Each structure stands twice: as C-alpha cells, then as structure tokens.
Amino acid sequence: MSQNAARLFNTRNMMGVVLIAGIAAGVYLGDFMKGPGWGGSSKGPGNSTSTSTGKDGTADKKPVTDKTEVAPEKIAALPQTPVVKVVIADRSYFLRSAEGDQPIELDQVVAQATAAKGDVDGIRIRVYRKLSSRTAAEIALRDALAAAGVGDDQTVWVPNPVDD
C-alpha cells in the first residue's frame, strides 16, 4: 500500500495537477481582468447582440451598436493639416494637434485623411499607438482607410508605442 501511495504523490503527478489547476485558474480569472488578449467578455455598451425571430422561426443575431452623435461644431473645429496625426488608445481614436489630443470618430479620421493634402512624400496620415491600443481598432482603421482610397503608401504606422 505504501508503494502505491508513493506512486500517487510522486513529483511528475503533482506537477501535472498543479499545471492543470493553474490553467483552470487562468481561464476563470481571465474573464474578470482587462488587458491584451482575445477580448474576453465585455459588459460595456455596444457589445451586445439582439435576437429576433424571422418568419420561418429561425433566430437572427444582429449586433446592437450605440451610435454616438458628434456635435457639428466639433467636426467644423477640426484643424486641416497636410498630415493627419491619429493616436489609438484602447478602442478609441484621438486627433493629435498642438492643442492636445482630441477624441475623434473613425469616420471623421477617414474624412480628415482623404481631405489631407499630404507632405512632400505623399504621406497623408500618421498613426500612433499607445500601449493600451487594441488590434481591432487598428484593423478597423486600416480597412476604413483602404475603402476610402487612402493607400498603404500614404499611411505611416509608427512602430513604437507612445507614452500615455
């Protein structure tokens, strides 16, 4: 019996149990912590889905997004510069100017970039990222710029994150 008990509590078996417990704890705690990763579960506005039932009885899931209206005076107050400087922080965009960073919507960023004249090298937009920037926001910006006709040769993605 003591030989069976010794085999049960040997180092290899205990390391396996500790490893499995660590993975389980990480998965459990990952839902509560915000940080880089695959997104997890977010309970914020704009990340919910609504379910409606069609005529044939099947359920359709559609994302519900809240559209935030931006005041027209803010759109008109955005400065026109040869090169638009945008900072991505978390899932938000900010227009960088001498006065400081101003929040801006994605469609406004695209409108500013298409209206920009560009510098001598043809660069219309410079994109800076903070450490908190999300990949989804970067991909959304890249796709929106491409759809508006602002090519990769007119965009500079600054490789190093800027300070918060």
CATH, residue 77: 3.30.420
Q: What is the pLDDT of residues 36-87, one digit of tens each?
A: 555 544 444 444 444 555 555 555 555 544 444 444 444 445 556 789 999 9
Are the CB atoms for 142 and 110 separated by under 8 Å? no
Q: In what order do the strands lie in the sheet with 155-157?
A: 100-104, 92-97, 84-89, 125-129, 155-157
Residue 164 lies in a domain: no
Residue 52 shares a structural domain with residue 109: no
Range of the domain at 81: 72-157
Are the CB atoms for 10 and 19 separated by under 8 Å? no
Residue 83 shares a structural domain with residue 129: yes
Residue 162 lies in a domain: no
Residue 104 shares a structural domain with residue 32: no
Residue 150 shares a structural domain with residue 122: yes
Per-residue pLDDT at 138: 93
Residue 59 shares a structural domain with residue 76: no
Residue 84 shares a structural domain with residue 54: no
Q: How many domains does the chain have?
A: 2
Specify the residue for token string 């389980």: 24
| % of the chain residues with pLDDT over 70 | 63
Residue 103 lies in a domain: yes
Question: Smallest Cα–Cα separation from 117: which of 80, 77, 75, 147?
Answer: 80
What is the CB-side half-sphere exposure of residue 32 using CA atoms within 13 A? Answer: 5
Residue 80 shares a structural domain with residue 124: yes
Residue 94 shares a structural domain with residue 29: no
Residue 47 shares a structural domain with residue 82: no
- Model's pTM, two decimal places? 0.51
Q: Assign 3-state DSSP to the chain and report helix, strand, coil percentages, each to 5.
A: 35, 25, 40
Residue 95 shares a structural domain with residue 152: yes
Residue 98 shares a structural domain with residue 147: yes
Question: Smallest Cα–Cα separation from 47: which of 57, 61, 26, 60?
Answer: 61
Residue 108 lies in a domain: yes
Residue 138 lies in a domain: yes
pLDDT value at 33 more than 50 = yes
Residue type, 31: D
> And the tokens for 123?
């660069």
